[in-house]
């Protein structure tokens, strides 16, 4: 168990560096028994998922301040990246419709996209069109 525990500890540290914070030490059950195989497998899944997340450029990289976008998002959706309006037309933190989302390179449902992607795509839209896409909140 000592060598297995050392391997798990290294895996746990790798997860910690990636910002993955398991709710508990996955190598121990509630009864305190060591279950290294299950814990290691779970951490490996979380690490793999974290590594698959794409990195998005910051809004500042396209000349838009995050604080400007935060104000628009607060007005549009209360800052909720999963928000959907009552009609289902406008989706996500910036209340994109699907056509506008696609026009800035988005695919799928804006409300299901990572928040960093929504910030980046809103910045692209603002750099292209100013605040006009958000007539009330821009």
Q: In the structure encoding, which two tokens stand for residue 41, read together?
A: 């497998």
Strand segments (E) across 5-135: none
Instruction: Check if the beta carbon of residue 36 is closer than 8 Å to that of residue 4.
Output: yes
Quote the pLDDT of residue 14. 72
Instruction: Check if the beta carbon of residue 5 is closer than 8 Å to that of residue 27.
Output: yes
Half-sphere exposure of 34 (CA within 13 A, CB side): 9
78-92 pLDDT per residue, tens: 999 999 999 999 999
What are the chain's domains? 2-52 (no CATH), 59-129 (1.10.530.10)
**H helix or E strand, kind and range, residue 50:** helix 36-52
Quote the pLDDT of residue 1. 46
In order along its 138 residues, the chain shows pLDDT tens digits of: 455 555 667 776 776 776 666 545 545 445 555 444 455 667 677 767 666 666 788 899 999 999 999 999 999 999 999 999 999 999 999 999 999 999 999 999 999 999 999 999 999 999 999 999 999 998
Quote the pLDDT of residue 45. 76
């Amino acid at each position: 168990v000592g060598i297995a525990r050392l391997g798990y500890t290294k895996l746990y540290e790798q997860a910690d560096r990636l910002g993955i914070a398991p709710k508990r030490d996955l190598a121990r059950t509630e009864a305190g028994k060591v279950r290294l195989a299950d814990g290691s497998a779970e951490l490996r899944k979380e690490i793999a998922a974290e590594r698959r997340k794409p990195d998005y450029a910051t809004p500042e990289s396209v000349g838009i301040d995050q604080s400007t976008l935060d104000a628009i998002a607060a007005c549009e959706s209360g800052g909720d990246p999963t928000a959907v309006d009552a009609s289902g037309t406008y989706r996500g933190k910036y209340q994109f419709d699907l056509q506008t989302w696609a026009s800035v390179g988005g695919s799928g449902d804006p409300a299901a996209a990572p928040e960093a992607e929504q910030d980046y795509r809103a910045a692209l839209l603002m750099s292209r069109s100013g605040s006009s896409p958000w007539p009330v909140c821009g």
